[in-house]
Structure formats: C-alpha cells, structure tokens
Structure 1
Amino acid sequence: MKTPLIVAKSNKVIESSYRLTLNEQRLVLACIAQIKKGRVVSVEDRFEVSAAEFATVFDMTVDQAYRELQEVAERLYARSITIQNPDPKDPRITHLKTRWISSIAYLPKHGALILRFAKDILPFISLLEGSFKPYLLEAVAGMSSIYGIRFYELMMQWESKGEREIALVDLKRMLELEGKYAAIKDFKVYVLEPAMRDINEHSDLEASYTQRKAGRVVTHLIFKFKPKAGKRDKKSVVKITKAEIERQARPGESYEQVEARLRASIQ
C-alpha cells in the first residue's frame, strides 16, 4: 500500500447500523483505501491485503498481523450492515441489509488475503460524488477501541462546522447497541469515553462533548471538534472530483498524473 492512504465512505455507510470488531474495521478500511478516486468497483475486483502491509499500518508484528487477518476474515464474511433509505430513486426501500464481503481467498505462502466486496455495498464505497468525507487512514490506525473509528467518522462528516449533535437513540442504532447500556454512566464508561480517548490521543482531531437532557434523562450528545494544529496533510484529504480532473487535464496526462499535479498546487 502506498502512503498516504485515504478512506472514503458514503455518508449513508457512516450512519448505517453495523457492529465490527476493531480489526474487522481495519481490514475493511485497508481495502477501501485501495480504491482510487473516480474508479468504479465491480464484484470482480479483488483487494489484496498482506500481513506485512497490515502490520506496518496498524503497528503490530507480521506474525500477529497474519493471525489477526485469518481470524478477522472468517468473522467478517458473516457480518452484515443495514443502510437506511439506501436508494433515493426508490423511496419504498427503507432499509438495505447486505454483507460487507462476498468472498475471501487465502494466500498462505504470501501471508496475504484477497477480498471481494459484496455487490450491494459497492455503490457506497466507489465512484462517490458529494455525500462523503475522505480522511487519512493513519488518523485512525492507532485507535484501540471498537468505537473510536465510528465516532471519528461521525465527526468528520461535520468537520466544517466543528460541532454535531446526535440523539442517543440514533447513536445506539448506528452502533447496534439498542437495548444495551440503559444507564448513561455505563454507556460513557464502555463506549463513549474509550472512543473520545482514541480520537484525542491518536487522530488528527481534538474533541470534547456535552450532553442534553429531557428532564433527568440524557437524550442527546453534543460533540465539538477541530483539527489538531500541524497534524493533518491538507493535500491528502482535499476532495478533487473526477469532473475537475477531466477539466484540468493536459494533453497526454493520465488521471493519476492530473490528480497529483492538482494536489501539488494546493497551498
């Protein structure tokens, strides 16, 4: 994998209902980061992740990385995601439940895996226009809680505003925690505080939160966040659309060459 690695997901995926372990999320992100901007991904496209690459990105030994990849891939194959109102052209569909991946190929002599994404998830991770927020994979690579990446993505959606209010019921739906942590103190101890520590210690954001109540019951969480000074590479996360690349292209330039030139010109 080349650096910097950039992750881009549809906002509908970020706000969808799913629960993955930390390493399952890492594997999904390692594959998504391989998708070049403007590329259409098909069910035939293969995403190879080696133990050596996984170890480098997520700071572990190669042996540990390969063991983790084998275990994670088996579990990830059975995982699903539920996307709310997935098709604006067909408002009759209120929910779409799909697997993340459709197949896993093992390369034991090479210490690697090859994954294919499931058909119904593809529109939400490739050829994205407008409703998505790219970020650097390294911003979440050091996180150690299950929820740090999810909270970080929810904040990045509203990065330009620096504040986001989320109903607790919606947050639990996204994290598939309905019916759990009825006491807000337990939710804070096991979900919220570990995620906030991850964001503040490992990501490129500084974040804090307050709460809103209805009577004595906490109903909403209000997050405030801003980029850490000098932490983020602006050139790596700025969005350059396919249309802009085509407009700015010079004779004989490839798609990648145009994008690299435009990024180099960003101040």
Structure 2
Amino acid sequence: MSGKNSLFDGVTGSILEEPTSDLFSVSEYENFEEDDMYDEKSEVEFRNSQHLIVYKDNALIFGRYGNLNAVELKLVNALIAKVNPYSDSIGMMSFTRKELVDMGVATIQWLYKSIDAITYKLQQQVIRLPKKNPKTGAVDNILSYDKVNLFYKSSWDDDTGEAQFMFHPDIQPYLINLRSHFTKYHLHQLHGLSSYYSIRLYELFRSFLSLRSVQAGNFKLTRNVQYATLRDLLDVGNKFKRFNQFQELVLDLAVKELQKTDINVTYSLPDRRKANSRVAVKTIRFEIEARFGYRLDSDDMEVDMAILKNDTYRQLLQFLASKNASALLDTYGVERCLSNLELLQSQNKKSVPIKNASAWLVKAIENDYANSSSNGPALEELLGLYKEEDRHKRNFIEEQLLHTWNDLDSTVQKEFLTNRFDSGVVAMKYVEYLMRVVSGNKPEPVKPKLSKDAMKENKAAVQDALTNITDTNW
C-alpha cells in the first residue's frame, strides 16, 4: 500500500521486524495463545475483571465508533470481554450495575442515572468497519467500509437490575473464531482512562505493540502516523480544527492517561524541526514502549501489600496467563517477582535483547536472578555469558566474573546487571582485564571455588587417608 490510503509511512525499532504489506495486522501471529479465563461453555460468566481480555478483529480496532463517549465505549468493551473468542456464536449477554462498577466502566451513581439512555443509544449505534482483504483477512483499505449495527437487541429489567444485549449477527464475525489479524488486551487497562480518545489510542497502540510481541522480547517501537488519518480514525470530525487544540485535548491528555496502563507513549512532530515552527503537521511520530519493571511511588499513595501485589500481578500479565502469574506470586512473593521484572527491564535497556521474554522471566523468578548467589547455568544466563557477542567480554565473564560473582557486594552485582559494561565497578575491572589482554599479559582464569559440600568431602577424604594405616603411599 502506498499513497493516500497508507496509514503509516515508516516503522523503526531495534528488535522489531519491518512491517509487512498488511499495515494493520502487526498485532498478533496467525494463531493466538491459549488463555485460561474461559470455560468450555456457550456463555462466559462475569469474572474478576483482572482476568477479562478483550479480543477484537483489527477491523474493529480501526473502525469508527461515531459519537460514543468514554463510558459507552468502556461498556461495549466490557461486553466484548465476556465473549469467548473460541466459540462459534454469541448469545444474549447480561450485566448488573455493580458488575459494571467492578469492571471500571462507571460509578454506580452515573449508571443509576443513565442506564436507560445508554441501552437506547447503543441499540441505535452504527459503526463503520474498514474493508478486509477476503483472502488474507487483513484490513487493506481504510477508505472503503461497511456500516454495521453494534447490537441486535437490548433490554433493561428494573426488577432484577439487569441489562441485556445481543450483538448484531453482522458484528459477531469480528469477535469470534479469530485466528489472525486481531488485537487483544486486558480489560482492566482501561480503568484509569477517562477520555474516549485515550481509549481509542490505547487500542491502536496495543495493535502496534502487541502482547505477543512483548512476550517475545520486543518492548519498544516507533510508528509514523499520518495526522489526517489519525483524525479520521478517532472520529474527530470538525472538532479541534487547529492542531494545537488537537494536541492539547487529544494527544497530551492521552499520553498522560496512558501512563496508568501497560504502555508508555511519547510523540514528536517530524514536520516541525524547530521549537517555534508553525509548519503544517502532516505526520506524528509515536514512541510506544511496554511498561513494566517499575515500583509504585509511595509519595503519591499509601502502598499497602494488597495494592502492591495487584500491581505486580498486572505487570506479570503482559508476559503470562493469569493462572501462571498468580502461581508465581503465591509461590515466590511480590518482592521476588518485582525484582526480576525490574531486572528484565534493565537487561532489555542495557544488554542484548532477550528473545523469549516470557520464558526468561519465569526462569528468572524461579532462580531469583535478581538476587542470585548461585553458580552453574542459572548464573551463566543471568550474566549473559552466551548472549554476549564481544569475544573479550565473553571471556571476561567466563574466566573472571563467574568465579568471583558471589564475593561481590549486592550493590555491585545489581550495578552490573543494570549497566553491564557501560559503567561501575565490574566495568572498570573489565577495562583493566582488556588492557592486560591487549598488552599480552592476559590474567590467568580464576579457579572455581569449591562449594561447602565439596570442601567437606575433600576434608573427609584427607582425614580418611591420614588415618588409614594400610595405605603406605602417603
């Protein structure tokens, strides 16, 4: 694709593959991973919103939702999160006000006031979905579209306090039997977003930097998006005609709110190379990065253990299914999981990228790489022995660092795991090592220290030899 129908004009990223011809399908691979929050039933009950995942065909991600507000869009996504994407059909879906409050859709007061108006409006809502390639299923023309009703039927029962919705048959193919060209995200990521545009931008950015991509070790990418196309995707219409209005009320607000989610976003304006430039904006360059390996700021809130555990759990969900994240937290505790999430983030920024981040993180938590004092394969992987491409650095790790690691102060260890050879005590030792190698006076490899058990065995063997009077060879 090229020309006026092209959404993007470039992508960069140190460990991201170049985009395929399908500019809208960078979200997932052909087959999505198996998630653990579904029962093998025709309908899925509401569950803890931590476990609910939204699955959408990319045509829905790039669709136009008309005049929905943030609460209405959250309600639609909450209903979509109830859909089992493995099923062949979708039945009637119901919810109570309390369930919507628990899922972060709106306050109970707002729902008591507006539930009837919401059901009426959503019943009438028509959305525009871009055409898909009939052979590949990819969205390849954003100027051609189908108009589809969201819901076929809706009702409100005041006696039971339940609202019911049935998705329109024309929309159901975009929600079930998904095998490729779709995006998924955790519903709770929308809780802190108050703007319709923030929600829509989160979905777009998550389709660019998919959860599958993060799990594979790709934590950051750059996207150039055409300003005119972005306005169209967000249904801005005649609002915010001046760019500074759009910048303040859409972009800046979204960037601030997205700091509450599992991604961080910054942007720049390539057309305006000078600070005071008034050149017309044609392109917006977004930097999107997975957000994990951080600690809650105790200055902003009272961080009790329940809050800290919940936040750590959400960080783990970028890499693991909910049952596996819960199992690691229950087995090893919050501090160990959080320390190794921090280590994964520092390894990504300072070291060779980790290709299978999910598997690495599980091993890191199980072996506690962040606070490792062990030897053997776990320590070799922790120190990046086999990922280090520089021959001298690899030799330094193998011959020197491995055998002195446990003698180093914990602050020095963490300094190296964060900065590698860029700075710190170990980096300085490496410089000394390299200078001696270059001068032809290479240091002798450090002899591995015996473990306490091995030392006891050796001492016992010597004692036996000394007390064995039949042995005359000593």
Instruction: With the length of structure 1 as denominator, give the TM-score of the two structures.
Output: 0.80
Pick from 176, 184, 190: which aligns with 1:140? Answer: 190
Q: Which has the larger radius of gyration?
A: 2
Q: For residue 125 of structure 2, what is the aligned residue in structure 1?
A: 79
Cα distance in 2 for residues equivalent to 1:59 and 1:31: 11
Write the distance in 2 (CA, Å) between the matches of 1:218 and 1:94.
25
Match of 1:106 among 142, 146, 156: 156
- Pick from 268, 271, 280 the counterpart of residue 210 of structure 1: 268
Partner Cα separation in structure 1 for residue 208 and residue 111 of structure 2 = 33
CA displacement 1:151-208 (0-9 Å, x = unmatched): 00111111145222211111111122234322110111222222222111x2111111
Q: How does 1:89-238 map to 2 (within 5 A)?
A: 94-159=144-209, 160=213, 162-200=221-259, 202-213=260-271, 216-230=279-293, 231-233=315-317, 234-236=319-321
Q: What residue number does 1:257 align with? A: none
| Most deviating of 208-217 and 75-84 | 208-217
Are 2:74 and 2:105, in contact at CA under 8 Å, matched by a contact in 1? no
In the other structure, the counterpart of 1:245 is none
Cα distance in 2 for residues equivalent to 1:236 and 1:66: 35
Deviation at 1:138, TM superposition (A): 0.4
CA contact 2:85–2:175 (8 Å) conserved in 1: no
Q: Aligned runs of 1:34-73 on 2, under 5 Å?
A: 34-42=82-90, 45-58=91-104, 61-73=107-119
What's the counterpart of residue 7 of structure 1?
54
Residues 181-240 of structure 1 deviation map (CA, whole Å, 9 limit, x = unaligned): 22110111222222222111x211111111232891111111112222142512248xxx
AA partner of residue 161 (structure 2): G
Residue 221 of structure 1 aligns with an amino acid whose one-letter code is I
SS of the aligned residue for 2:118 comes to helix
Q: Is the 8 A contact 2:75 2:105 kept in 1?
A: no
1:16 maps to a residue whose letter is G
More divergent stretch after superposition (64-73 vs 215-224): 64-73
Equivalent of 1:21 in 58, 66, 69: 69
Q: Structure 2 CA distance, aligned partners of 1:124 and 1:57? A: 22
Q: In the superposition, relative to structure 1, how do residues 110 and 63 fare at CA in structure 2: closer, same or farther (>3 Å)? A: farther
- What code does the residue aligned with 2:96 have? S
Deviation at 1:48, TM superposition (A): 0.8
Greater relative contact order (CA < 8 Å, ≥ 6 in sequence): 1
Higher strand proportion: 1
Matched residues in 1 for 2:150 and 2:98: separation?
Answer: 23
What is the rounded CA distance, in whole Å, between the counterparts of 1:109 and 1:131 in structure 2? 42
Aligned-residue offset at 1:120: 1.4
1: CA distance between counterparts of 2:153 and 2:270? 44
- The aligned counterpart of 2:442 is none
Structure 1 distance, partners of 2:106, 2:128, is: 31
Conserved 8 A contact 2:61-2:183: no
> Residues 217, 232 of structure 1: CA spacing in aligned structure 2 closer, same or farther, 3 A cutoff?
farther
Distance 1:70 1:136 in 2: 27
Which residue does the alignment assign to 1:240? Answer: none
C-alpha RMSD of matched pairs (Å): 2.6
Distance 2:122 2:89 in 1: 19
- The letter for the 1-side match of 2:73 is Q
Q: State the 1:142 CA deviation.
A: 1.8
Distance 1:99 1:204 in 2: 31
> How far apart, CA to CA, are the structure 2 residues paired with 1:135 and 1:66?
28
Checking the alignment, whether the CA contact within 8 Å between 1:77 and 1:102 is kept in structure 2 is yes
Which structure 2 segments of 5+ residues have no match? 1-45, 214-219, 273-277, 294-314, 323-357, 363-474
SS, match of residue 85 in structure 1: strand
